[in-house]
Amino acid sequence: MDRLEDELRGFLSRLAEDESIFTGVARDMRRVADLAISGNGEPTTASEFPQVVELLGRMRAERPALRDVQIRLITNGSLVERAPVSRGIRTLGELDGEVWFKVDAGSAAGFRRI
């Protein structure tokens, strides 16, 4: 968690202070749309998931420019019944966050079955 916090703080500071991060992006498009929890695989499998949600809430609260930025979880929903995941989602709700459920399938036939 310490490494994630350090990296996130560094990125958010750079985002706020370093215009070069936006090279090639039109001024009217320079905004943070959300703080999303997603990844290469199901993000709720991480045992630290509830702490990650709390960390994003703290980071957002510390930065006035981010106070209206949505915190969002993108999940397949397969683990929502697990206590730590439910706890993290409850915290996300308390932060006025969103949960987006995605549906994945390996084939068109599999997708139709879902």
Task: Give the pLDDT of residue 103.
Answer: 83
Task: Give the pLDDT of residue 18.
Answer: 77
Task: Give the pLDDT of residue 83.
Answer: 97
Q: Which of 62, 70, 59, 58 minimizes the C-alpha distance to 96?
A: 70
- Please give the Cα distance from 68 to 61 (Å, whole number): 9
Non-local (6+) Cβ contacts of 80 within 8 A are 44, 86, 89
Task: Give the pLDDT of residue 40.
Answer: 84
- Please give the Cα distance from 49 to 88 (Å, whole number): 6
Q: For the sheet containing 34-37, what is the strand order?
A: 34-37, 70-75, 98-101
Per-residue pLDDT of the chain (114 residues; tens, 9 = 90+): 999 999 999 988 888 777 788 888 888 888 889 999 998 889 999 999 999 999 999 999 999 989 999 999 999 999 999 999 999 999 999 999 999 999 877 788 887 887
pTM for the whole structure: 0.85
Task: Give the pLDDT of residue 42.
Answer: 94
Task: Give the pLDDT of residue 108.
Answer: 86
Task: Give the pLDDT of residue 100.
Answer: 96
